[in-house]
């Protein structure tokens, strides 16, 4: 996994590479921005970003910190990536 960087256009979202995949952790905030209240994880093949991509639905949860939400987002991304080949062939297969 490459270094995590904050998105320039949305500074509280995170984008990173995991092997041949681009991963985005997109956060939603209800409070004054101290901890996220929602998360969407998006994974795409770096070489073919418009060919096949997978996203989670909206994950709503009360996290205690931004770091905790980030770690959970990484786990969801790992689940999407680990089942990628099977889901690419059969979209009915659930992630991770």
Mean per-residue pLDDT for 67-86?
88
Mean pLDDT of 35-44: 87
In this prediction, residues 24-52 reach a mean pLDDT of 79
Mean pLDDT score, 55-70: 85
Does 2 score more than 50 pLDDT? Answer: no
Q: Specify the higher pLDDT residue, 32 or 57.
A: 57
Mean per-residue pLDDT for 39-61?
78
Contact 73, 41 (CB under 8 A): yes
Residue-averaged pLDDT of the chain: 78
* Helix (H) and strand (E) counts in the chain: 2, 6
Cα-trace Rg, the chain: 13
């Amino acid at each position: 996994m490459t270094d995590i960087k904050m998105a320039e256009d949305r500074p509280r979202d995170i984008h990173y590479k995991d092997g041949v995949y681009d991963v985005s952790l997109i956060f939603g905030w209800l409070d004054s921005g101290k901890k996220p209240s929602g998360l969407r994880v998006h994974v795409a093949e770096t070489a073919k970003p418009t060919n096949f991509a997978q996203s989670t639905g909206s994950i709503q949860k009360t996290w205690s910190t931004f770091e905790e939400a980030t770690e959970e987002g990484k786990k969801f991304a790992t689940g999407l990536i680990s089942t990628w080949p099977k889901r690419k062939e059969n979209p009915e297969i659930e992630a991770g």
